[in-house]
Amino acid sequence: MRYIDFVNTKYRPKDTDLICEFHVEPHDQPLDVIAGGVAAESSIGTWTSLTTEKPYIHDKAATVYEIKGNEIKIAYPEALFEPGNMPNILSSIAGNVFGLEDIKYLRLNNIHFPEEIAKSFKGPKYGIEGVRKLTGVTERPLVGTIIKPKLGLVTKDHAEVAYNAWKGGCDVVKDDENLSSQRFNPFDERVIETLEARDRAESETGEKKVYLINVTAPMEEMKRRADFVEDHGGRYMMIDILTTGWSSLQAMRDLDLKLLIHAHRAGHAAFTRSHRHGINMVVLAKVARLIGVDQLHVGTAVGKMAETREEVLMNKEACVEPLYGIKPVLPIASGGLHPGMVPKLVEIFGKDTVIQAGGGIHGHPDGTVVGATALRQAVDAAMKGIPLKEYSKDHPALEKALEKWPVL
């Protein structure tokens, strides 16, 4: 079969097909030929005719069924894939095709899984409903922070920053993505001391508090760390899902643990940032959801990260849209946030999110406790529909925050 033989605009996808949407820019070849090349090289074809080709393989060919400008849609028969094996699926649809010489740019913009493949994965153990039940927070966004400075604090100071954030009103405290088990802050020591600080904060505030502990490591150590967290009363494990890899994430989801999975997307922009080449964050969100994370960073549209409002809304939708009964994932807003952004964030995300501010809490002029209080007050104001400036008149912590950071 030639590349062009993989193009059939009269084809209508079956319910059992896996559908991919690509942006394609060829070098010098006709676009339809190169579109066919993407379908061929990601299914049964290659660059030349073969003596080993058998007629019975043709029903396993991927088909380009729509070409609109540089946007194409390809249908893949589900027989091409091993159920429950995400590395296999991605090695096919997002593998060697990105390196084809005749392609100038290629971006996988979306993926639609058929029911049988989708249900071959476990999906979230808890999802949004489980997070709500664990935290006891049901009618507002959760208020969260990241320990800052992101690296360098010794264990005692790390735990103290966490305690101050919880005391001031945070529901959630998490490690940053590059905090692991460095000599200045060893993992086991950090777990013990920070969970003790959590318990103290719960006792003093009467609220449930959670600590998202970064267990990211080589596979066997990651399993050990997750066991250690659960044995010491932790409720969450945080995983840098792209740098650990999909197979590792799947293995962690398969563990017989009660821990929720918080998914950090460190490194995603290497794939997602270009609109012409790479993989859209929407795809990564759908993959992570099927494998089974409970919450996932999706961008902010208003902070320091590069995604637009439209992109963030699409990422959010990938987390929560109906998907064969698979639980929705809690979308996380994180990256350069402060109290003045809260109304916009609530407008974008609604109440089902965690608003995570690092510098926007610890950078408050009066310190972490007051910074956490200010963010909590901003959330309360937004949920009541009261403008921040007006609400801040009777809430000094928020008022001081708005003197430093503007209301968007």
Which one, of 258, 328, 278, lies nearest residue 298 by Cα?
328
Please identify which of the residues 264, 286, 395, 400 carries the catalytic annotation: 264
- 21 strand-pairing partners: 73, 110
**For the CA atoms of 307, 312, 315, 317, what is the dihedral angle to 10 degrees?**
-170
What span, in angstroms and rounded, lies between the C-alpha atoms of 226 and 203?
25
Report whether 122 contacts 296 (CB < 8 A): no
Backbone angles phi, psi at 353, to 5 degrees: -165, 170
Which one, of 236, 241, 240, lies nearest residue 259 by Cα?
236
Which one, of 90, 83, 115, lies nearest residue 20 by Cα?
90
Please identify which of the residues 73, 148, 262, 364 carries the catalytic annotation: 148
What span, in angstroms and rounded, lies between the C-alpha atoms of 98 and 156?
46
Neighbours of 200 (CB within 10 A): 15
What span, in angstroms and rounded, lies between the C-alpha atoms of 150 and 35?
44
Burial class (CB in 10 A: 0-12, 13-18, 19+), 129: middle
Alpha helices (H) along 52-186: 86-93, 115-118, 127-135, 155-168
Alpha helices (H) along 210-268: 219-231, 241-244, 246-253
Which one, of 142, 84, 91, lies nearest residue 113 by Cα?
84
What's the first-to-final CA gap in the chain, in angstroms? Answer: 56
The answer to whether 148 is a known catalytic residue is yes
What span, in angstroms and rounded, lies between the C-alpha atoms of 146 and 274?
27
- 264 strand-pairing partners: 240
Catalytic site residues? 148, 264
